[in-house]
């Protein structure tokens, strides 16, 4: 019954908060699992993250059982984690291709064998506090690897200068979870719980800072690009208008054109008919036309 007794109020508070936040982290892949169920296909997703999480939860559960004391809340969250990750893996196996199933079973077998070796090896090789320390530092090593896994995403963000592959909500949850479990470890005076969560907190803060930096930079680039396009469009239209007006003015020419040739047939006909008066009334004298390229005007004198 000693496992279910919590002697420190701070241990209980931080452990309870850690349980709540870590539950949210465990349920974070749920949208992906729902997509897999709807599509009835794994859609290229990998089972490795679920297997690694299952391995970590199994080790921490073993550590909490070996240590005893105020570890009930550590037992509860890792028991829940084992259950949730197992459900994820089962669903993944249902819809996986034969080759993917084979790889997943290999991963699961490796995890189970490793857990069995660690538990039996430490149980028969060490006693008391030494066993607790050995199991604890093995858990620390595994947790460091789990926390370091998102560094591949960090490298991708730096390379592409895009936060598309870094969900902010998950980074926030992981940072909060690491903070609560760090406080829990400090209250419990357990270095094996404290150390990996210091790293988890630092990596979480770094990821959020990186997200904010590249998100702001991307927004600034979009704003600058939009302003440049607007300026280019406005300036280009204005310049084009000026150029068109200049061309029109430079090409505008005014020159006289004698229209007597155009009316020679009419004059010959009127002369043959002997209608001199009609000829005078219809504009005897010189007729001039002003021709402007682009705008024509006839002026008759």
| Residue (of 176, 219, 185) closest to 71 by Cα position | 185
**CA atoms of 195 and 200, how far apart (whole Å):** 9
What does the pLDDT look like over 117-164, one tens digit per residue?
Answer: 999 999 999 999 999 999 999 999 999 888 777 777 788 888 888 877
For 164-189, the DSSP string reads TT--HHHHHHHHHHHHHHHHHHHHHT
What's residue 60's pLDDT? 96
What's residue 267's pLDDT? 46
Q: 239 or 154, which is more confident? A: 154
Q: What phi, psi does 291 have (nearest 5°)?
A: -115, 120
What does the pLDDT look like over 63-98, one tens digit per residue?
Answer: 999 998 888 999 999 999 999 999 999 999 999 999
| Least reliable range by pLDDT among 6-20, 105-119, 209-223, 231-245 | 231-245
What does the pLDDT look like over 24-63, one tens digit per residue?
Answer: 999 988 988 999 999 999 888 888 889 999 999 999 999 9
Q: 262 or 107, which is more confident? A: 107
**Quick count: other Cβ atoms within 10 Å of Cβ 111?**
17
What's residue 99's pLDDT? 93
Q: What phi, psi does 297 have (nearest 5°)?
A: -135, 135
Q: Which residues contact 297 (CB under 8 A, 6 or more apart)?
A: 289, 290, 291
| Residue (of 63, 55, 24) closest to 188 by Cα position | 63
Q: What phi, psi does 163 have (nearest 5°)?
A: -100, 20
For the chain, give the percent of residues with pLDDT over 90. Answer: 44
> What SS3 state is found at 98?
helix
What does the pLDDT look like over 173-220, one tens digit per residue?
Answer: 889 999 999 999 999 999 999 999 998 899 889 888 888 888 888 777
- Encoded tokens for 206: 């770094």
Q: How many residues can be counted in the chain? A: 301
């Amino acid at each position: 019954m000693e496992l279910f007794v919590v002697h420190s109020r701070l241990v209980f508070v931080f452990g309870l908060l850690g349980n709540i936040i870590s539950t949210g982290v465990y349920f974070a892949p749920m949208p992906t699992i729902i997509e897999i169920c709807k599509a009835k296909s794994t859609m290229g997703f990998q089972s490795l993250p679920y297997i690694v999480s299952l391995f970590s939860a199994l080790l921490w559960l073993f550590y909490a059982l070996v240590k005893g004391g105020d570890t009930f809340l550590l037992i509860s969250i890792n028991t829940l984690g084992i259950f949730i990750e197992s459900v994820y893996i089962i669903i993944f196996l249902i819809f996986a291709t034969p080759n993917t199933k084979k790889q997943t079973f290999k991963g699961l077998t490796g995890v189970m064998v490793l857990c069995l070796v660690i538990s039996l090896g430490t149980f028969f090789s060490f006693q008391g506090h030494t066993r607790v320390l050995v199991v604890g530092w093995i858990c620390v090593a595994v947790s460091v690897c789990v926390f370091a896994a998102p560094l591949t995403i960090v490298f991708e963000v730096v390379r592409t200068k895009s936060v598309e592959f870094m969900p902010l909500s998950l980074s926030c949850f992981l940072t909060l979870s690491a903070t609560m479990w760090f406080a829990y470890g400090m209250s419990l005076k357990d270095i094996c719980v404290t150390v990996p969560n210091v790293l988890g907190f630092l990596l979480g803060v770094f990821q959020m800072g990186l997200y904010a930096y590249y998100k702001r930079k991307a927004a600034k680039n979009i704003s600058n690009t939009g302003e440049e396009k607007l300026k280019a469009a406005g300036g280009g239209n204005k310049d084009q208008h000026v150029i068109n007006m200049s061309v029109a003015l430079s090409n505008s020419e005014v020159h006289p054109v004698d229209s007597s040739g155009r009316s020679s047939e009419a004059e010959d006909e009127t002369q043959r008919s002997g209608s001199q008066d009609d000829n005078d009334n219809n504009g005897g004298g010189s007729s001039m036309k002003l021709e402007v390229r682009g705008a024509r005007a006839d002026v008759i004198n």
